[in-house]
Amino acid sequence: MSHLLALDPLLRGSVTWSVFVVVVIKVAVAFVILLVSVMLYIWAMRKVIADMQNRIGPNRAGPYGVLQTLADGIKLFFKEQSIPNSADRPVFRLAPYLSIMPAFLMFCVVPIGGTVSILGHQTFLQVVDLPMGALFILAMSGLGVYGVMLAGWSSGSKYPLLGSVRASAQLLSYEAAFGLAILGVLIQAGTLSTHEIVAQQSWTNAWSFVSHWFWLKTFVAFVIFLVAATAETNHPPFDLVEAEQELVGGFNTEYTGIRFAIFYLAEFMNVITMSAIAVTLFLGGPSGPGLGFLARDNVLNVWVMPVVWFVVKVLALLFATVWVRASLPRMRYDRLMSLGWKWLIEIAILWVLVTATVQVAIVEDWNRLVAASIAVGAAVAAYGVLYASMPKSGEQIEEFR
């Protein structure tokens, strides 16, 4: 089929049982990866933060306390559930599902390796390569707001409601910046399929990590993406959702036992999935140098090295998230909203227009440096005019309910 260039070779041609088995294997592996990595991430986070704060951290369950998360999880299975009388029971039960689904689903378009052969079928190492994967990512991250919002509302309690309303407003605000940051990559890549995006960032020479990976070409979008993704996952310093001094536990205050565990799982799974997506869009996904002394089609170069590079990059980002968690204090709500609406969104939009101008200038054979400087100048001027015409901090403005 020529019209679907990016299609996974697994799904072409006739379907036999083994194709179905391969799909099921891929789904199962994705689940195992996500669940095990959440377990290890929580443990590593506690251990690293403990190190940074001169503590020991978990060290009882298993070697170096590595089974601590598992122990906590198992404990929560045995905890009694209490649903408050004032709660809306069906929605209260539904909310944990809604909070964990987007985190799972987003992962299914992330390529974690190259093209390999399983049971005699050539296939991509990703659950599915949707032709519009980038749009799928954006749509799924938009659904993340439901879990938070409905959990807070259905509890029928003050603090969860307050926490969920302000958390959903936060998620929405940064969702807009998140989408606009993804656009920066799309302008460079010219496709919505994650497999294609990764293919364009492939490793061709030792400098590919600056010339082919998108992080440098779309630097502003990359920074905005990282900030917006951090806020989207309610990760510190944007963890207003669970500001315990103000809101007890935030939207999940009334949840106990296993349902609380699912929210907890979803929160950290989101961090991992978002890191994987950042790696896919900006850091080349599984691309990286192979082992030079082996043949290109050696099993190590085909199977192992791409996965290793992917894991290394995700681990680097995850370490950065832990570092941020240990270093930065929580943001004030007004500053959080100002950052989102007065800076990130405008800059992301202007950046999209600037990069598009440069792309068009290259195609139409204009001088790209002149075009770039004019575009940057116009964008800075536009933002300057916008900022200068806005009310200053003591200025009298209209009253709103």
Partner 1 sequence: MTEFYRQYLAVAVFVLAAFLMVGAMLGVARLLRPKVPQDEKYITYESGSDPLPLFGQMNVRYYIYALLFVIFDVEAVFIFPWAVNVEGLGWFGLVEMSAFVAVLLLGLAYVWRKGLLRWA
Partner 2 sequence: MIAENVVFGIIAAAMALGAIGVVRTKNVVHAALYLVVVLAGGAAQFILLGQEFVAWVQVLVYIGAVIVLFLFGIMLTRAPMHPKDSLDNDLRWPAAVTSLFLVGILVGLLVHTFHADKVDVQRPVRTADVTSSIFTTYIVPFEVVGVLLLGALIGAVVLARKD
Residue 285's region, left for phi above 0, alpha for psi from -120 to 50, else beta, is: left
User: Cβ of residue 155: shortest distance to partner 1, in angstroms?
Assistant: 7
Is residue 295 a contact residue for partner 1 (CB under 8 A)? no
Is residue 154 a contact residue for partner 1 (CB under 8 A)? no
Which tokens go with 35?
């669940």
The b/e string for 288-325 (b: 16+ C-beta within 10 A; e otherwise) is: bebeeeeeeeeeebbeebbeebbbebbeebbeebbeeb
Q: What are phi and psi of 140, to 5 degrees?
A: -65, -40
Which tokens go with 199?
């293919």
Of 43-51, 114-122, 131-139, 294-302, the segment contacting partner 1 by CB under 8 A is 131-139
Is residue 158 a contact residue for partner 1 (CB under 8 A)? yes
CA distances to 14, 18, 77, 155, 229 from 149, rounded to whole Å, are 44, 42, 24, 10, 18
Q: Which of 150, 192, 198, 317 binds partner 1 (CB under 8 A)?
A: 192
Q: Restricting to residues 239-278, which ones interact with partner 1 according to CB under 8 A?
A: 248, 253-254, 257-259, 261-262
Q: Which residues are within 8 A (CB) of 268 and not within 5 positions of it... i.e. 6 or more apart? A: 38, 41, 42
Q: Restricting to residues 26-65, which ones interact with partner 1 according to CB under 8 A?
A: 26-28, 30-31
Q: Which of 92, 159, 251, 351 binds partner 1 (CB under 8 A)?
A: 159
Is residue 79 a contact residue for partner 1 (CB under 8 A)? yes
Q: Which of 16, 36, 55, 190 binds partner 1 (CB under 8 A)?
A: 190
User: Cβ of residue 332: shortest distance to partner 1, in angstroms?
Assistant: 9
Cβ atoms of 306 and 288 closer than 8 Å: yes
Work out what residue 150 binds among partner 1, partner 2, none; the CB cut-off runs from 5 to 8 Å by kind: partner 2
Is residue 183 a contact residue for partner 1 (CB under 8 A)? yes
Q: Where are the beta strands (DSSP E) in 248-378?
A: none
CA atoms within 13 A on the CB side of 166: 19
Binding site for partner 2 (CB under 8 A): 3-4, 86, 88, 90-91, 94, 130-132, 135-136, 138-139, 142-143, 145-146, 149-150, 153-154, 156, 161, 165, 168-169, 172, 175, 191-192, 398-401
Work out what residue 28 binds among partner 1, partner 2, none; the CB cut-off runs from 5 to 8 Å by kind: partner 1
